[in-house]
Each structure stands twice: as structure tokens, then as C-alpha cells.
Structure 1
Amino acid sequence: MRDGVRRGARVLLPCYLAVLLFALLAPSARTPSASVGWLGRALERLGAPEQLLEPSRVEFLANVAILVPAVVLGAVVWAAPSWRDWTAYGFVFSGGVEVVQALLLEERSATYVDVVANTLGALVGGLLVAVVRRRPGAVSH
């Protein structure tokens, strides 16, 4: 992979993780809730089916989507981990966040559904990277 892309990912990854941790570990759920509301309105404008616009489904999709960029950037920085590894890292990361929310953040609610959604997002990111790397002519690390 080109050095410029890897350098860019090395800068973007910690920035993205900082924003991610801020959203996931903020004492209040106001910011994440507002983000889910914004995503729901965006999906509605894009013509998403009514069933998808149910707030709990929008929240699930947001929790899936939130880890995909982290995994893609991480895979650019570190080539060795496979999609399986990234999925496991996503599970551990998500479980850790939910434990912190449960034990230290009174206004937040820790749920198993969030762990499932975040882990699915890590899987999606890992598979996306694996597919791109297998394309003919793809540059590997």
C-alpha cells in the first residue's frame, strides 16, 4: 500500500477513535441520541422503508456503522490482522465500552444489542477490507 495512504490512516485513526470514544463514553446519552435522530431523518429522506425507520432499528444500524471506519483505517495501518481478528477486536472493544457504561456512566444504558451491532460493524469493516484486498490489481501491504 502506498505510504501516503498509510500515513493518512495513521493520522485519521486516532482522530476517529477519539470522536468514537467521546460519543460512546459521554456521560449523557444526548449526543448519541441526537445522532440517531439525524440518521433516521436522513434515511427517511433517502426513501428507506418504513420498517427500517423504527428508532431501535436506526440505533442498531448506527451502532453497526460506527465501527466500520475504525476497522478500515486500522486495517490500513496494520495489515496482519484478518477479518476474524478485526471482528474479535470489535467484540472486545464493544464489550469494554458497555462495561464502562454500565459501571461508571449512570445516564447511559449498556446493552447486549449494542455489543452485537458493534461486533457486526467490525465484521463488515473486516470483510470489506478483505474483499478489496482480494481484487485483482489490489495493492497489498
Structure 2
Amino acid sequence: MSEKGAGRAGWRVILGVYLALTALVVAWPNAWTVNRTVVRVWQIGVTNGWYDPSTFSPEAFATLLNVILFIPLVILAAASFPRVPVWVWVLVAFVGSCLIEGGQLLGGVRDATYLDVISNTGGALIGALLVVVGRHLRHVG
């Protein structure tokens, strides 16, 4: 196996682990547990003075986490499959997010929101932008 092939294989393993962990979080059947965990992490940030609770609510924090969740997903996918155009990964993230929210809606256990689809897709776009900039800088330098 070439050095590039070995590198891609490593990225694919990391992508698989990340996807498994992400699936675990988004498919967790007890929405209350997920919500309480988000609020606890938010409270740690408030306690440490990372942000002002009067301007940054637990709901805003949850939205930020939805954005952050999809940034590494696109970066890892692009590193694992470099011949696939990066816009395809944004589309995959959008469709995946719609499927997740649809499953939550049909499952009736968790709340499905369009804001989650928007924030997940926004995270995918940020990840794609980072990939494009990284590839450009690699070719320039």
C-alpha cells in the first residue's frame, strides 16, 4: 500500500469512529439525557466565565454544538475520499441531517427541528470551506 493509501485508510478509520460516536449521540433514545448533558456542559462554561448566560442560552449552546458536530465530519470525509468533490459532502451532511430529524420526528421520542438541519448544514459548510482553504494553501506553499 502506498503512503497516500495508508494515510487515507487511517482517515477512514477515524471517520468511521467519528460517525459511530455521532450516531450514538443523535440516536440516543432518551432526549432528556442529551438535553441535561448539554445544559451541564453549558453550566460549566458559565461557571468558568467563558460566556455570559444572559446573552448565550443553553439553546444557543445546543445550536452551536450542532454546527460543531458537522465540521469534522466533512473534513474527515474529504481527507478519506479526496477525489469526491467537497460540495458532495455538504450535500450528504444536509441529507443526513434531514434523515436524522425525520427519524426523530417519526420516532416521537426526540424533538425534530429545522434549526438543527440548518445548523448541521452550516457546520458542513464551514468544514468544506476549511477543506478548500487547506487544499489551496497546500498547493500554494
Structure 2 letter corresponding to 1:12 = I
Structure (1 or 2) with the larger CA radius of gyration: 2
**Aligned position for 2:79:** 76
Preserved contact between residue 52 and residue 58 of structure 1 (Cα < 8 Å): no
Q: Kindly tell me: are residues 98 and 48 of structure 1, through their superposed partners in 2, closer, same or farther at Cα, counting changes over 3 Å?
A: same
Residue equivalent to 1:24: 26
Residue of structure 2 aligned with 1:8, choices 7, 10, 14: 10
Root-mean-square deviation (Å): 2.3
Q: Give the partner amino acid of 1:24.
A: V
Deviation of 1:97 after TM superposition, in Å, equals: 0.4
Contact 1:83 1:123 in 2 (8 A): no
What is the alpha-carbon distance in structure 1 between the residues aligned to residue 45 and residue 84 of structure 2?
A: 33
**1:23 and 1:31 in contact (8 A); partners too:** no
> Residues 50 and 120 from structure 1, CA distance in 2 versus in 1: closer, same or farther, beyond 3 angstroms?
same
For these two proteins, the number of residue pairs brought into alignment is: 138
- How far does the alpha carbon of each residue in 1:20-70 deviate from its partner, in whole angstroms, 9 at most, with x for none? 111111111134224422442354326224455211110110000111111
Which range is displaced more, 117-126 or 48-57? 48-57
Correspondence 1:58 to 2:61: yes
Contact 1:90/1:122 (<8 A) preserved: yes
Moved over 6 A (4+): none
For structure 2, the 5+ residue unaligned runs are none
Identical amino acids, percent of aligned pairs: 32
Alignment check: 8 A CA contact 2:78 2:86 kept: no
Runs of 5+ consecutive residues of structure 1 not aligned to the other structure: none
Whether the 8 Å CA contact 2:105–2:112 is kept in 1: the answer is yes
Equivalent AA in structure 1 for residue 10 of structure 2: G
Matched, 1:133 2:141: no
Q: 1:12 to 1:52 in 2, by over 3 A?
A: farther
Q: TM-score, normalised by structure 1?
A: 0.84
Separation in 1, partners of 2:112, 2:66: 13
